[in-house]
Structure 1
Amino acid sequence: MRTVAAVVALVACVHAGLWAMTRDTVQAPNFEGQLASVSYAPYDASTDPNKGGRAKPEQIRKDMKLLAPVTKAIRLYSATGGQELVPGIASEFGLRVTAGAWVDKDKNRTEREIASVVEMAKRHSNVSSIVVGNETIYRGEFLPTAGETLEPSERERLAAADTPEKLERAREDIGVARLIKMIQRVKRQTSVPVTTGEIWSVWRDHPELVSAVDYIAVHVLPYWEGVPEKNAVESAIGGYEYLRRLYPGKRIVIAEFGWPTAGYNLQGANPGRIEQAVALRDFVTRAEAYGIDYNIVEAIDQPWKIFEGGVGPYWGIYDANREAKFSWTGPITNPDHWRLAGIALLIGLLLSLPIVTMAGVTFWQAVPLAAAANVVGAWFAAVFAYWNGHYFVPGAAFALALGTVLLIPLIVIAFARIEEIAVIAFGRKPARLVQSPPLAPDHAPKVSIHIPAYREPPEMLKQTLDALARLDYPNYECVVVINNTPDPALWMPIEEHCRVLGPRFKFVRADNLQGFKAGALRLAMVHTAADAEVIGVIDADYVVQPDWLKDLVPLFADPNVGLIQAPQDHRDDRRSVMHHAMNAEYAGFFDIGMVQRNEVNAIIVHGTMCLIRRTAMEAAGGWSSDTICEDTDLGLTILELGWQAHYTNKRYGHGLLPDTFESFKKQRDRWAYGGFQIVKKHWRRFLPGASRLNREQKREFLLGWLNWLGAESLGVVVAILNILWVPVVAFLDIAVPDRVLTIPIVASFAVSLLHFLTLYRLRVRTNKRQMFASMFAAMSVQLTVAHAVAMGFIKDHLPFVRTDKGGKRKSTEFPAFWEAILAGLLIVGALTLVGTNDKGVREINIFAVVLVIQSLPFVAAVLMALLERSSLNDFATWQALEARFAALLPRRSALVKPAPAPVQEQRELVP
């Protein structure tokens, strides 16, 4: 325990050191004076102008008191909605006001704005100038529209345009002319300078607009140009100098300069609190030194500005709570850095505490576990920072909360996989794995072996019975139950074969038997010898080794042992490349998962190559038909009663693989649906005191269900949600998933890939080709498992579906149709995101990567289905390709290897 505690402390110290190293401390010019001007909108959470909110005098007065020490003037953008109150209140604090009239296509509103701004200038002496319209030309507010009544000069100008480019320019010229008329109208009614606010290119392209205004109010916002933050001030000053050279003698004011503190990057421009502080302090000091008149956008964050994309609400030098975001003097740091570090370290430490309680944990086993715990802690801190540093409308808050909730089980699964990597790669060797020779060779109770069969090929079943006849064990019987098989050609040869094999082999046939496989096994119990103490179960396609019973039955000498499980394996994995992949995929479960579960007496009973103590079976209530995985159900019940179970990964029997990929999927669907039935049936027995399961057993089963049923189902649900979200991101330019939601998906995939490759290399005897093929087979059933879980929620009982084996049955339907649809949608979605990401937003590209990753299981299913129908599924094709390749490279002829003989491979645990 001391060693593990030291590891936890060491990793926490390293984590704290990383936070210290990553704490940004940036220098920037100090500014100790007052700003020339800041943009101001008198709204808060309770007065959203998008919802008709009206500014409140008390809030305006509080804001003016806050801003008066910081700035000499403020700029408004509207003259209605309560903003007409601002000049009068601002005068109480000695603040000048640049009044603004918001003009757009709504003529009635525009008229109200013009009338109000003129009245403001007449009534308040602190109104120093008027800005008519805000980026009106840039936004195209005054462009002529279809069906609009035009003046003769406007019609002539449009008629003279003989190309699309000239037509577009003519339309813009008309908009400028309309704006000039409005500016001139306001100038006639007031005595203060009048201008309009536009981006630099509008002033460049329209000298007639320059002539119409009293001064140029240029908006220079390098962020919207995609200029990196380090070049922002140079870009702004350069734009100013360009206009000054273009219009010498004309007064120029940088009417907007700012930098957002949150949101998404635009090309090379990155928002952030430190980035804003550096840009503004540098700009203000240089503008003051150069004598440039300027206005900073903006004073206070405006959460309602969601129409400006992800950065819209975050341009203020104060947040929405009226807290300053940075200091104008001294080093610039993130004030929340150490608070976030504390959250990350605390959560990392709490998640590391279970490691201390684990028995037999080695130093190197504890290191990745503690590191993973601290990584999760850092992620939680990032989520907190994102939540604390952003403004949310209800929909966005719901999306973030939903995304976080969906990610939590994904993170738990990733953590469990890291733990399994650590224990297998760095932990102690398995201690409970059954080894040969037997522990009690003289213990030989009678065994009754049950073989349920439903419409099985007779020759296949005869092989199974012949292998049982060769068992090297003195005291056993075989009960063959053929149920619901009316065709005499299928059951009569078996009846005759049992007669030939002798009295040990009992033949039982029943028609109209209820309860599927469980019903057949219950019938077998009726015909079981009274003195049989152990029940053995094998599938009708299994050929067992002679030493199966001799090696394993002696373990029942321990009266606490309730069952013994041997692994499944297959003798036809050389039928095709697809079957080779399937067999390796099964082997992962038996050589990795089952071995580790056995260490805490929590194995899964899988219905063949299984030996069960008769008294344990009877105590558990026998075979039940309320799930279609009666074997796992019975095994779990036996464990819940406190019995011990043993497992060996030595292969004592070999069966047949599913005939087709479709059969492979149907078998996995049955297992997953039955597994979900078991969850619903047994979850109450995991409550304290409800069974004799200990904490480790409960943990192993719960994580196993989550890791299999949960991971696959969650993967499909998140993939579908992301498909639905693609149009929102690609075309509406809002609600881009932040990296706190997407990076964990990428990281989880990386952990799963590492988990698969590492554990296969350490535990499963297979070559690299077969290992990668098995990875495709494992991924290909994600939708199958998710569908089974969904059906488990909808229906309590579905019929048992037999897995086709031993033949060459092929379906005419494409067995991966829906996987192809989902894969196509995800890949098209990723391409759409990248293709429409003109702004170069990194989060969008990461989201596209996530979609590609999520498509891989569905792509794997499509490839498996296509492989089955192609010549590449034949080993001879690959041998021919290798031979052809070797012929092209004579010196490397050693690459051609003869195909291995189809022998029964004996896999054992790799040390």
Structure 2
Amino acid sequence: MKTEVNAPAVTDRFSSLSFAPYGRGADPDAGEATNEAQIRADVDAVAPYTRSIRTYSATGGVELTPPIAAARGLKVSVGAWIDKNEDRNARELRNAIDLTHKNSNVEGLVVGNETIFRGEKSAAEMADLIRKVKRQTNVPVTTGEIWNVWLDHPELVSAVDYIAAHILPYWEGVPAEQVVDRSIDIYNRLRAAYPGKRIVIAEFGWPSAGYNRDASVPGELKQAQVIRTFAARAEALGIEYNIIEAFDAPWKSFEGSVGQYWGIMDAQRHLKFPLTGPLVEQTYGRTAILALLLGVLFSLPMLRAPVTVQQGLALSAAANGAGAWVALVINYWLTHYVTGGNYITVTLSLLLLGPLVLCVLYRAEELTAVAFGRRPKRLVENQMLDSQRSAHSGRFPKVSIHIPAYREPPEMLKQTIDSVARLNYPNFEAVIIVNNTPDPAMVEPVRAHCETLGAHIKFINAEKVAGFKAGALRIALEHTADDAEIIGIIDADYVVHADWLKDLVPSFDDPTVGLVQAPQDHRDGAVSPLHEAMNAEYAGFFDIGMVQRNEEDAIVVHGTMCLIRRAAMMEAGSWSSDTICEDTDLGLTIAENGWKTHYTRKRYGWGLLPDTFEAFKKQRHRWAYGGFQIIKKHWRRFLPGNSRLTTAQRRHFVLGWVTWLGAESVGAVAAALSLIFVPFVFALGIAVPAHVLTLPIIATFLVYVLHFIAMYRLRVATTPLRMLGAAFAAMAVQFTVAKAVYDGFRYKDLAFARTAKGGNWLAGAARSFPALWETVIGGLLFTAGVAVHMQNWHAIREVDLYALALVIQSLPFLAASLIGLAEGSKFNDFAVWRAARAKLGLRTLRAPVVE
């Protein structure tokens, strides 16, 4: 239903309108001139609505205005622009005085516009200049100044023929409902201060768009109400007035957010509101239709598979929310003037908006699937593929387990080998390959230990192996038994469960299965709060993302605890060294060749966490950089007909990359751009970004928080405190992932960086602070956000939104900083937290039961 409001009608014409005859694409501030055709068209546009016009310059073509206006019966108040450029001032005054002599319709000469207010001339200087001009013309002479300048400078009043007062309550933060009364009151104050002096309200208006200023809120409906009500009151009281302005001025992008929107007509010379009759609030019919269409478009790919009623409703709501978001952004840019540097803002906003929408919808889809969808059916344990099947078939295919080790602590590696030796499976071998480890103290104890375990435990010491981990695994394949059908991969720090092979090998009874993956887990999470946070962060990936992707056979292979059919591995070309994530690369190639993959949520192996936060970051950098390498290597196989990937698999892999590498990179880039923009806001007074740019950042953050909390509560067996630690750990690597993507563009190949585990870092030199750049960037963002808010003297909504966006963008960087600071402190000791909990009388929260 449309909202109608009433306002007095403009029964005749306005007393006067400010007149700047420049086309939409012109920029008079850059020295561009107007021309006779433009002036004539603009005079024709305003003639039906005003009795007079006011110009602000007498050069640049505007001096052609008086004779053209005379032909349409319009009076003109000629303006002469005055500033510190005396040569220009002389030309302006010369032309303006000449116009008063040659055009009988010139009813006044306004020398300067807010020149005193801008500080470019003193009141005494302007008074002298006005007296000089008065001696050269017979028309009334004045200057245009804001109303309080006239009250403060009676010497200026004595110099002019009449007071030309600017009364613009928007800049005073006055609510629209009080503007007319406020303006009439100011007019009366001037009359009381200078009785008998002619007073003209030389500028009065209200912007139709832009940011609020205290209680002043722009808007098309408010503009119409204010101007119509003021014009009626002024006419009734016999007040001479001039409305600023005739046309919107797109070039005034540096006059605050409202500078472009003071016209009663838009830049196309269309009247913004009727001068009589009811006023109707702007509707968003076309925007609503666009939002609905986009919502349907966004819903289609998410509703492609059977869903529950609740899931379908939630997905539709998310899709329509995203559609409304995009539609409002499009509407904003279509209904606001985009000029100059704003084109850069528009381009960047559209480039950032796409990945943000994808990320939000992908997370909404994942959340609704877990919260309202059907239980996972494709997990190995849910398919009842257990040891019973192998027992019935009477077949135990041979498994060759490969354990690459590079400079690993011998005692740690021996634990891994012992756990393999204890596997409850009758037909397996293990190939332990120590590579590029010249220290005999790290090699010989392992060799000796293997010799005590039997012939099925093979030891290889390979020196000068090229190709990093993949090179070592290729050598292991050369020493694999000929009858081995399945290759198992575990990292050197993993202790495996005795039933690993017994439970998972039966999946290969299906000849189309090429790979079975078990999750990573860790046995040293209780070492410190940092280790616990890292472990909880890893768990989110393995208990949420991998489970959902497995439903459509699109898991990400992560090497350790992985079983691969040898035939599928050979068809895929074995281990490749052209990426540093050889496991994910191989798994994707196997899927591209049409082999099925399976995943189990059950833990069958426990490794060691990175020793330090720096090691955690290096590991994440390696994964992200390797992921970017994989994109560059495989993108052609995602084109139609180039592989046997299904549409669902392609979708999961592409959206997975976008929501991980893309989202983290976009987040870091957006943070950097926001930070770069801050000095321009403070130093040049440039308006902060519009809400359509800052609200998406805030909304995306809220969606991420909701997604994270809900998914962890539904799927990950953890406590609220561990979940908080996981959130910190996840946020802390945003910059690391973004840097990895940047390095992916910059470097073709980076060396494989081993993750420090098992206490190796203790033997090294003193460590440097692991989050220096994150601390600098996060500190600057947070400080900028606080400073922007503190400087928001006029309670501008967009300023506070921008400040909030800056603070939100600082959180991932500050999370890294806080972890780096806490790592070497007493806060990274469980004893301190236990003591604090006991002191506060708090109980340890139990982990939720997860299905």
- With the length of structure 2 as denominator, give the TM-score of the two structures: 0.96
Q: Look up the match of 1:638.
A: 590
**Which of 793, 813, 826 is residue 858 of structure 1 equivalent to?**
813
The alpha-carbon deviation at position 416 of structure 1 amounts to 0.5
Is structure 2 residue 17 aligned with structure 1 residue 69? no
Q: How far did 1:439 drift? A: 5.9
Question: Which residues of 2 match residues 805-884 of structure 1 at below 5 A?
Answer: 805-807=757-759, 809-810=761-762, 811-884=766-839
1:385 aligns with 2:331: yes
1:304-362 deviations in whole A, cap 9, x for unaligned? 33342222222111111111111112232355622222222222222222244x22211
> Retained in 1: the 8 A contact 2:26–2:251?
no
Please, which of 674, 692, 709 is the counterpart of residue 644 of structure 2? Answer: 692
Structure 1 residues 637 and 281: CA distance shift in structure 2, 3 A: same
Shift of 1:768: 0.7
- CA 1:195/1:413 → structure 2, altered by over 3 Å: closer, same or farther? same
List 4+ stretches of structure 1 deviating above 4 A: none
1:203 aligns with 2:155: no
Aligned to 2:305: 359
Q: Deviations over 1:279-314 (max 9, x none)?
A: 101111111222211111111122233342222222
- For 2:598 and 2:401, locate their aligned partners in 1 and report how far apart those are by CA, in whole Å: 18
Cα displacement (A) at 1:541:
1.1
Judged with a 3 Å threshold, the aligned counterparts in structure 2 of structure 1 residues 439 and 186 are, in CA distance, closer, same or farther, namely: farther
**Structure-to-structure mapping, 1:594-633, within 5 angstroms:** 594-633=546-585
Alignment of 1:348-497 (within 5 A): 348-356=295-303, 358-435=304-381, 437-438=386-387, 440-442=389-391, 443-497=395-449
Deviation readout 1:137-190 (Å, 9 max, x if unpaired): 212222xxxxxxxxxxxxxxxxxxxxxxxxxxxxxxxx2222222222232333
Query: Could you say which residue in structure 2 is the equivalent of 1:339?
Result: 286
328-337 or 442-451, which moves further after superposition? 328-337
Deviation at 1:251, TM superposition (A): 2.0
Q: Secondary structure at the match of 2:348?
A: helix
Q: 1:45 to 1:31 in 2, by over 3 A?
A: closer
SS in 2 for 1:306: coil
- What CA distance in whole angstroms lies between the structure 2 residues aligned with 1:580 and 1:275? 56
Q: How far, CA to CA, are the matches of 2:140 and 2:245 in structure 1? A: 22
Residue 273 of structure 1 corresponds to 220
- Give the CA deviation at 1:593: 0.6
1:463 shift after superposition: 1.2
2:522: which partner in 1?
Answer: 570
The answer for the alignment partner of 1:891 in structure 2 is none
Q: What pairs up with 1:140-151 in 2 under 5 angstroms?
A: 140-142=119-121
Farther-moved stretch of structure 1 (734-743 vs 587-596):
734-743
SS in 1 for 2:654: helix
Deviations 1:483-541 (A, max 9, x none): 11222221212122112111221111111111211111111111111111111111111
- CA distance in 2 between partners of 1:202 and 1:50 (Å): 25
Contact (CA 8 Å) 1:262, 1:389: kept in 2 or not? no
Q: More deviation in 727-736 or 438-447?
A: 438-447
Aligned sequence identity (%): 58
CA distance in 2, matches of 1:196, 1:839: 29
Checking the alignment, whether the CA contact within 8 Å between 1:650 and 1:908 is kept in structure 2 is no
Listed as ranges, the matches of 1:10-159 within 5 Å are: 24-45=3-24, 47-142=26-121
The superposition leaves residues 117-154 of structure 1 with CA deviations (integer Å, 9 ceiling, x where unpaired) of 22222222211222222122212222xxxxxxxxxxxx
1:524 to 449, 456, 476: 476
| 8 Å Cα contact 2:489/2:560 also seen in 1 | yes
State the alpha-carbon separation in 2 of the partners of residues 713 and 421 from structure 1.
Answer: 22
CA drift at 1:79 = 2.1
* Paired residue type of 2:647: R
Whether 2:506 is the aligned partner of 1:506: answer no
2: distance between equivalents of 1:480 and 1:187? Answer: 101
Counterpart of 1:10 in structure 2 is none
Within 1, Cα distance between the matches of 2:362 and 2:587?
23
Distance in 1 (CA, whole Å) between partners of 2:843 and 2:338 is 62
**Alpha-carbon distance between aligned partners in 2 of 1:484 and 1:100, rounded to the nearest angstrom:** 83
Distance (Å, rounded) in 1 between the aligned partners of 2:562 and 2:644:
22
> What residue is the counterpart of 1:12 in the other structure?
none
**Comparing 44-53 and 422-431, the one that deviates more:** 44-53
Superimposed CA distance per residue, residues 547-580 of structure 1 (whole angstroms, 9 cap, x where no aligned partner): 1111111111110111111111111110111101
Task: Tell me whether 699-708 or 28-37 shows the greater mean CA deviation.
Answer: 28-37
Please give the alpha-carbon distance, in whole angstroms, between the structure 2 residues aligned to 1:334 and 1:812: 63
Matched residue SS, 1:564: strand
Deviates more, 1:123-132 or 1:416-425: 123-132
2:258 alignment partner, SS class: helix
Asked if the contact 1:730/1:836 (under 8 Å) is kept, the reply is no
1:316 aligned onto 2:259: no
Displacement of 1:625 in angstroms is: 1.1
Cα displacement (A) at 1:691:
0.4
Contact 1:46 1:53 in 2 (8 A): no
In structure 2, the residue matched to 1:167 is none
Which AA in structure 2 matches 1:93? R
Deviations 1:824-853, CA, capped at 9 Å, x for gaps: 121222233224333433212211111111
Q: Give 1:611 deviation, angstroms.
A: 0.7
Q: How far apart in 2 are the matches of 1:499 and 1:592?
A: 41
After the TM superposition, which residues 506-905 of structure 1 pair with which residues of structure 2 at under 5 Å, given as runs? 506-807=458-759, 809-810=761-762, 811-886=766-841, 895-896=842-843
CA distance in 2, matches of 1:882, 1:375: 42
Question: How much has 1:708 moved relative to structure 2?
Answer: 1.0
CA deviations on 1:841-895 (whole Å, 9 max, x unpaired) are 3212211111111111111111111221011111111112222333xxxxxxxx3
Unpaired stretches in structure 1, ≥5 consecutive residues: 1-19, 143-174, 887-894, 901-906
Q: Do the aligned partners of 1:438 and 1:555 also contact (CA within 8 Å) in 2?
A: no
Kindly provide the amino acid, as one letter, of the partner of residue 320 in structure 2. N
Distance 1:52 1:865, change over 3 A: closer
Per the alignment, residue 167 of structure 2 pairs with: 220
Q: Quote the Cα distance in structure 1 between the aligned partners of 2:458 and 2:369.
A: 46
The 2-side partners of 1:440 and 1:125 are apart by 106
Question: Is 1:910 the counterpart of 2:845 in the alignment?
Answer: no
Moved more, 343-352 or 30-39: 343-352
Task: Mark the runs of 5 or more structure 2 residues left unpaired by the alignment.
Answer: none
Deviation at 1:395, TM superposition (A): 2.1
CA RMSD for the aligned pairs? 1.9
CA distance in 1, matches of 2:359, 2:514: 30
Alpha carbons of 1:645 and 1:625: their partners in 2 closer, same or farther (altered >3 Å)?
A: same
Distance between the aligned counterparts of 2:452 and 2:699, measured in 1? 60
Contact residue 786 and residue 807 of structure 2 kept, 8 A: no
Deviation track 1:668-705 (CA, whole Å, cap 9, x = no partner) reads: 11111111111111111100000000000000000111
Aligned equivalents of 2:551, 2:252: Cα separation in 1: 58
Q: Supply the distance in 2 between the matched residues of 1:396 and 1:405 (Cα, whole angstroms).
A: 14
Whole-Å separation in 2 of the counterparts to 1:344 and 1:909? 40
Once residues 408 and 543 of structure 1 are traced to their aligned partners in structure 2, the CA distance between those partners, rounded to angstroms, is 43
